[in-house]
Structure 1
Amino acid sequence: MSDQRYVSGSSVIPLTIGLTSALNEIASLTYRQENNIDVFPDEVEMWRQDHLLSEISTRFSNLEQSRTYTVAMFLDPRYKLYFESENVADNTKKNIIGLVTTMINENERCLSSASTSDEPDNQGQKSNSLLWKHYNRQMQNVRPAGTANSRAIIETQKYLDDTVLSPDPLEWWRIYQTIYPNLAKLAKIKLNAMAL
């Protein structure tokens, strides 16, 4: 975390989970071994670890309730559904599907309004439209199969099933934006949230 100049909001929940887990593991140790000799931690150090763990648990207990962080984390291919609570993971997935469904519906509305709008009276465009008139008429009603919601579910599930090949989420989205076009658009909007 300290080697990054700007920590993405997508890393907040995983870093907090990792830090809490590490502190729990340290707190559960009653001793450690150095050169085959049992060394017990002093009481002050134990108190500091317990106090730190308590403070972190208190301050960051509601992180998974933040839609900003959960959506950013979901769209970061390194983390996807790395949540402590299965309920939060399911709700985040449903939220993403809802956002993608809305995007698909808006795109279809824009496409249908663009195809029905009048073209300007331009001789070059007129001849072009005459040339493609049959094609446009035939393809006008061709739509992708399924509802916007079913397509959102399929794209989201395919993303979840995909493996992570790159530790850099921006590079990953650049490579996979054609495979997950709606999620890539959503990632451009939501993944850039900064950790505060």
Structure 2
Amino acid sequence: MKISALELLDQLKEITRQHIQYAQALTQKTEEELNFRTSQDSWSSLECLEHLNRYGTFYIPEISNRIAASKTSPNDIFKSGILGNYFAKSMLPKEKLNKMKTLKLMNPVHSRLNKTVVDEFISQQKQLLELLEKAQHIDLEKTKTSISISKFIKLKLGDTFRFVIYHNVRHVEQVQKILNL
């Protein structure tokens, strides 16, 4: 994938703004509604968001630290890496949901959750927006980040943003299906 770096950042910012707006609407729901699950083993809306919060707890500081340490100048074009593009695209929801196994540490199923999960999600999305703004001033290809499953694998920052935000898309859509909104 090859795209204007600013265009990519703008697309990701718009998706993130939509997620903030949607999550703000969720604050009007009751905890009972947000804890509803369609089956015993499925996730509730709050569990979907808690799952994203757990990933955010890793990726937001990782991205922030890499941006702060980057000495690169921005490049006009972003060219995705093979592995990064694969990971990012695999996160996007398909017509027929492609189920994926999650790491035990990142699986919130049957957790006792309240609406603070929504507040945390909104907070993390706002932090992501700030990081997307800062990323305009560095090279999205030369700046690399670790990933949650291995500190040895590094992805281009642009691919990391795509992975994290597309992962959010996947689970926000899951929440929408659960709540039929």
TM range (shorter): under 0.3
Q: Which has the larger radius of gyration?
A: 1
TM-score (norm 2): 0.25
User: Which structure shows the higher helix fraction?
Assistant: 1
Q: Which has the higher contact order (CA 8 A, sep 6+)?
A: 2
Relative to the length of structure 1, the TM-score reads 0.24
